Amino acid sequence: MTDDALDPALKAMLKAAAEAPAGPSIRDLPVPEARAAYRERYLIRGIRAPEAPVAMTEHALELPGRVIAARLYRPETAAGGKLPLVIYFHGGGFVVGDPAAYDNQSRRLADRLGALVLTPDYRLAPEHPFPAAVEDAWDVFTLVAGDAAAWGADPAAIGLAGDSAGGCLTLVTALTARDRPNGPQPVAGLALYPVTDFRPNAGKDVSYPSMAAFGRGYFLDTATMDWFCDLLLTGTEDALDPRASPLLWPDVAGTCPIVLVTAGFDPLSDQGDAMADRLAAAGVPVDHLRLPDMIHNFPGYAGLSAGAEAAFARVVDAFGARLLGRTRR
């Protein structure tokens, strides 16, 4: 694939960044500064908030032995009564990212879906290495699904969504629910350009052509992925744990419908494709959206690219069809 297929605005942005970087890579900063830089850059370059008002309230989620913060978004234009609820897990390599960085994106998601969106501030590495984030994701899902009425949510319309690291959490949470058929079940999941296999970054003898082709110069690079991996995993054998690498899940049959999105210029695209293929081969309803002109984290550049903004809308509509059982605007 040549750069001619890349969205023109994203291509120009990447060229400008290569010629005159706006700041150091987050991997070259102390972790607290990396998180602040990621948040600032995401809000500046990322997707804009919708014109319609979306209310936001802050919550403290009481999970077993711990409390984490979360934000709940409710579109003020939504009809009364119980609404679908989407738990959205932010991206950031399990090291950076938070609900504040994703504020505009969460508002846009809530508005376009006409649904509640809950964004948990799950625990991050290196303070909380694997599997802390996985445990938080599962516990948040069971907390919400176990008392949907308390959130004003329709218990039959609880969905999962996330991007990159959050896409991994979406898949792992959906697969965990699949393994526990007597417990709550999500109605659908959205995994945007998910990491599904940590083995290449943990020194295992596994490789993907897209990592070599797009591992430098397309926002997410190999060095940053390795940095994330080093901070997240307590040892290389963690990469073999299906909760870190859901592509290795023993049995995926019976998982809820999944919308899985891969981007043409993303080093993670091949492992995302492999996950979609594995789910489909097991009979899972999969909507695999391949976006050939996009890069990893394209909603984080949708403030600069109309193409990225349109791609995000397409993704949300596909997820809405699964979540709501109907097509949105």
For residue 190, report the phi and psi dihedrals to the nearest 5 degrees: -120, 115
Q: Which of 106, 164, 245, 305 is catalytic?
A: 164
3-state secondary structure of 37: helix
Q: Which of 139, 163, 296, 305 is catalytic?
A: 296
- Write down the H helix ranges in 24-164: 31-45, 103-113, 132-146
Q: Which of 197, 266, 270, 293 is catalytic?
A: 266
Residue 266 is among the residues annotated as catalytic for this protein: yes
d(CA 259, CA 160): 10
Name the percent of the chain in helix, strand, coil, to the closest 5: 45, 20, 35
Residue 25 is among the residues annotated as catalytic for this protein: no
Residue 164 is among the residues annotated as catalytic for this protein: yes
**CA distances to 27, 79, 117, 191, 243 from 168, in Å:** 21, 32, 18, 7, 9
Contacts of 62 (CB under 8 A, 6+ apart): 143
Angle of helix 103-113 relative to helix 306-324, nearest 10 degrees, comes to 50
d(CA 325, CA 315): 15
Contact 292, 6 (CB under 8 A): no
Element (H, E) at 56: strand 54-63
Strands 286-295 and 188-192: unpaired
**CA distances to 50, 65, 113, 185, 316 from 109, in Å:** 9, 31, 6, 21, 7
d(CA 85, CA 110): 9
Which one, of 85, 183, 100, 170, lies nearest residue 133 by Cα? 170
Q: Which residues are catalytic?
A: 164, 266, 296
